[in-house]
A = this chain, B = another copy of it.
């Protein structure tokens, strides 16, 4: 399941700071913190067996990501991602994810195209097992590579964290009957458009893909 993973993360995970950063980040996104809960540097440092320095640097980075809010001389409180934030993110992605596809159609490299193909093939292989977690990972990679293929730093900079933030929401979405199959079919269409270098088609299908995902998600949230 691994092997084609490269250095895709902004914050490397081999330094102590990087590990701390991803630990706190994932804990927040997985709901292990309450909203408004205060983060004590010494506690985190103690739990992870490190000093306060890397913990502080990680918290400062999370501040910039908007996941915590730091008050001078008082500390950091968890802000996290609210349901409203998730809805907003999907609305924004519906408008600009297609742009990533458009630019990808113009700039994608053979290697990136090959990676997308591999992921689609793998998804087809895994889709019958109903192992949602694997499908989420593959979905992550598909979109992550799509963002890279746009070769636009600003766009990647927006979409990559956004996609990460809604990972939990996507997990439940991909586990609803039929959604994984539809998502795969949509990924295939996007891939075809990219192979054909058809920017208009790539943009349209991608925007529709996000729109469908958003609909599926919000339908679950507000049933009927």
Q: List chain A positions with a Cβ less than 8 A from chain B.
A: 10-12, 14-15, 17, 53, 56-57, 60-61, 63-66, 70, 72, 79, 82, 84-85, 88-89, 91-92, 95-96, 99, 152-155, 157-158, 162
A63-B11 in contact (CB<8A): yes
Copies in the complex: 2
Tell me the complex Cα distance, A84–B53, Å. Answer: 36
Tell me the complex Cα distance, A191–B84, Å. Answer: 25
Report the minimal beta-carbon distance from A202 to chain B, rounded to whole angstroms.
Answer: 15
B11-A92 in contact (CB<8A): no
A72-B153 in contact (CB<8A): no
Tell me which of B15, B61, B157 contacts A61 (CB under 8 A): B61
B158-A72 in contact (CB<8A): no
Cβ–Cβ < 8 Å partners of A10 in chain B: 63-64, 66
Tell me which of B61, B66, B70, B85 contacts A63 (CB under 8 A): B61
Tell me the complex Cα distance, A10–B76, Å. Answer: 13
Of the A-B pairs whose beta carbons lie under 8 Å apart in the complex, a sample of 14, sorted by A's number, is: A10-B66, A11-B63, A12-B70, A57-B57, A60-B61, A61-B61, A64-B64, A82-B153, A85-B153, A85-B154, A88-B153, A88-B154, A91-B99, A92-B155
Cβ–Cβ < 8 Å partners of A12 in chain B: 70, 72
Cβ–Cβ < 8 Å partners of A91 in chain B: 99
